Chains A and B, each alone.
Chain A
Amino acid sequence: METRDIVRAALFAALIGALGLVPRFDLPLAAGVPITAQTLGVMLAGLLLGARVGAISVALFLFVVACGAPLLAGGRGGLGVFAGPTAGYLVGWVFGAAATGWAMRVCPFRSVFARAVLASILGGVLVVYLFGITWLSWAANLTFERALLAGVLFLPGDLLKAVAAAFVAQAHARTAPTPLKGRA
């Protein structure tokens, strides 16, 4: 692994942490719905860094959190977050970033925006939900359908985040001085 990839992974891991700490910002469509932006960071890691480095970046972030850095939204951190009912989402982030990066590369559309929206929904929403809801139903002893019901509450916010991530990917594709491996 080149130094460049390590540093990119580390900086996007820091971005995911910073996104949990910035004061909330308004998305125009959401009309004041508060959005915790960390899954946005997961999507962006996949979109801008590609599957491999993106997944490493998210895994690194979770490792730093597991070691005790309070970087999850609301200042949570430490091993406790991997014991909680939402731990599946966190583990799902790693695979979500990988799926986002993979989808961004193979998706046939010409438009960066369209590719990024699809990739973010596939990786950052579907894959993350698959892990999150499976874990929730197991940890909380619920049927999958009921866990799904609890998880779907976050769906509108997450779809908006996929659109926001795509805007960023498009802006990046237009302004980046050097192309990225993730073909964003």
Chain B
Amino acid sequence: MIAGHLSKRTWLHRAPAGAKLIALAVLTVGFFAVERPAYLLAGLGATLLVYAALGREALARLALLRALMPIFAILGALQFVASGAEQAVATVARMALMILLADLVAMTTPMLAMMDALAPLFAPFRRFGVDGQRIALAFALVIRFVPVLLEDWRRRDEAWRARTGARRASFRLLAPWVASLPALADRVAESLDARGMGRR
């Protein structure tokens, strides 16, 4: 699976994940208070400079923003009608800035480091039987089962098209695909328990 994170190690990779997350939180809250479009555009420019400093691979990630353009356009237009050009620029610039800053952290922090850094957020839930090991197990299961489910879907889709001559998948495939999940989950749980997962 392709992670959202840059394969080449950069200077920002070396900063600890916790520090990057805290800096991100401070900057995000800070920029929410900024109203002047000029400052927001300056922040946006500075962020783009950091992207440039990280190299070409990082700059290529900016293309991912294209998916958000329709939303920016709609929100910018609404804001323009409601309160003028200045507000519209400020709103769109602020949103782009938030996303780029957060992506910067995501790009330079490997998934496991991010997981470790975010784990303390779960401490309040320990009372409900949520602990680090179980989260790690569940995390690994999610990553592992996405391709398994996709493969299952692909096989059902192929069979459907071979037997009906239809060109596109039908929603009829959805029910058997999803309905088989709880049973699959129970079999996986049984094998985990059989290997000592339930005993602690």
Q: Are A4 and B185 in contact (CB under 8 A)?
A: yes
Of B129, B169, B174, which is within 8 A of A164 by CB? B174
| Interface assignment of A159: CB less than 8 Å from any CB of chain B | no
Q: Which of B105, B115, B128, B175 has the most CB of A within 10 A?
A: B175
Output the nearest chain A residue to B178 by Cβ-Cβ distance. A168
CB distance from B47 to the nearest CB of A (A): 12
A18 to B95 CA separation, bound complex (whole angstroms): 28
Report how far A74 CA is from B16 CA in the complex, Å: 29
In angstroms, how far is the closest chain A Cβ from the Cβ of B58? 13
Mark A12-31 against chain B: 1 for CB-CB distance below 8 A, else 0: 11110110011101111000
Min CB distance A180 to B, Å, is 6
Q: Pick the contact of A60 from B110, B142, B169 — CB < 8 Å? A: B142
For window 83-110 of B, CB contacts with A under 8 Å fall at 87, 90-91, 95, 98-103, 105-107, 109-110
Chain A proximity of B7: nearest CB distance (Å): 13
Question: Given A25-B174, A80-B100, do A175 and B179 touch, yes or no (CB 8 Å)?
Answer: yes
Q: What's the dominant secondary structure at chain B's contact region?
A: helix
Complex Cα distance, B58 from A48, in Å, reads 41
B:103-153 near A, CB below 8 Å? 103, 105-107, 109-111, 114-115, 118, 128-130, 134-135, 137-139, 141-146, 148-150, 153
Q: List, in ascending order, chain B residues with CB within 8 A of A28's CB.
A: 171
Q: Is the CB of A67 within 8 A of B175?
A: no
Report the contact-size class of chain A (Cβ under 8 Å from the partner): 35 or more
Q: Is B198 engaged at the interface, CB distance under 8 Å to the other chain?
A: yes
Distance, CA A86 to CA B145, complexed state (A): 26
B151 to chain A: closest residue by CB: A18
B residues 6-64 in Cβ contact with A at 8 Å: 24, 28, 64
Chain B residue contacts of A157, Cβ below 8 A: none
What residues of chain A lie closer than 8 Å to B110, measured between beta carbons? 68
Which residues of chain A have C-beta atoms less than 8 A from B162's C-beta? none
Q: Which of B128, B145, B178, B197 contacts A10 (CB 8 A)?
A: B145
A78 touches B102 (CB 8 A): yes
CB-contact partner of B142 in A14, A79, A142, A176, under 8 A: A14
Q: Does A33 sit within 8 A of B, measured CB to CB? A: no
CB < 8 Å neighbour of B149 from A18, A26, A69: A18
The 8 Å CB contact of A1, one of B28, B129, B168, is B129
| 7 A-B pairs closest in CB distance | A78-B106, A171-B175, A10-B141, A14-B145, A83-B98, A80-B103, A79-B102
In the complex, besides A14-B144, A70-B3, 8 extra interface pairs with C-beta distance below 8 angstroms are A4-B186, A9-B138, A10-B185, A12-B185, A26-B168, A68-B4, A142-B75, A150-B78
Enumerate chain B interface residues (CB-CB to A < 8 A): 1-5, 24, 28, 64, 67-68, 71-72, 74-75, 78-79, 82, 87, 90-91, 95, 98-103, 105-107, 109-111, 114-115, 118, 128-130, 134-135, 137-139, 141-146, 148-150, 153, 157, 168-171, 173-176, 178-179, 181-186, 188-189, 192-193, 197-198
11 A-B residue pairings within 8 Å (CB atoms):
A10-B137, A10-B185, A15-B178, A25-B170, A48-B181, A64-B142, A85-B68, A86-B71, A140-B75, A142-B79, A146-B82
